Structure 1
């Protein structure tokens, strides 16, 4: 699907507030609410918009640790590890990487004790190195750089 400038404007406005009414969004880009709704439906049907989400204050819900874990696999069969990380709610991002290590995980966890338990489970698949986030400096929606 080829996206035009209007599609990008809609996407940008939805990243700012995914609950915005189509009528209000349309007013900002000089379209009717129905025309905006038709475009959004097309973006959804073509898989451009995969889901809508919300941002939660992690400290208020008890997710006080963010850890970045670099995994060094013991074996070339990674299927069981991939299944394991897909089953773990603590893993919010997982990337297969080139260079040093095999996988890079971003983990949000309640306590240091829970992190230690999680790391012990990882040892079944390989070794790791861990970095803890001290302070988030910037969080950016990658779409905004495109627009």
Structure 2
């Protein structure tokens, strides 16, 4: 198993803030050449420490202002069917199997109450739920 050193961790921190940084720019910040940074990034990718790159969007500006956290309480052992449902459901942006109170936790982004209620109605085929609506984003690891 590959264990990243402090320079690798700093490269990851920089790329999390701005994945569009050029290797040369990262190198200036970690005191390496761009070529050396490229080699480190490739190694981090090969070992699965960096799994990909993405574009961060503002869901509210894209018409999805409603954020809900849904705790799922399974009614049966149809977990595989439920997981398939979650993977097909476009309003579910994250899904976690959890311990403690509930079986799963879903993060849902919806255009409004109609979209949210439609997803919740479909969810009832598999599980009961507890719903929490977000009133303000305070911190996100994605920003």
Give the alignment's TM-score, normalised by structure 2. 0.95
Within-5 A mapping of 1:1-147: 1-140=2-141
- Greater fraction helix: 1
What secondary structure sits across from 2:12 in the alignment?
helix
Shift of 1:97: 1.1
Shift of 1:57: 1.4
CA RMSD of aligned residues (A): 1.0
Mark the runs of 5 or more structure 1 residues left unpaired by the alignment. 142-147
Shift of 1:114: 0.6
Give structure 1 regions of 4+ aligned residues with deviation exceeding 2 angstroms.
none
Mark the runs of 5 or more structure 2 residues left unpaired by the alignment. none
Shift of 1:126: 1.2
After superposition, give the CA deviation of every residue in 1:58-102 in whole Å (9 maximum; x if it has no partner): 111001100010111111231100011011121111111111111
Give the alignment's TM-score, normalised by structure 1. 0.92
Shift of 1:137: 1.1
How many pairs does the alignment contain?
Answer: 141
What secondary structure sits across from 2:99 in the alignment?
coil
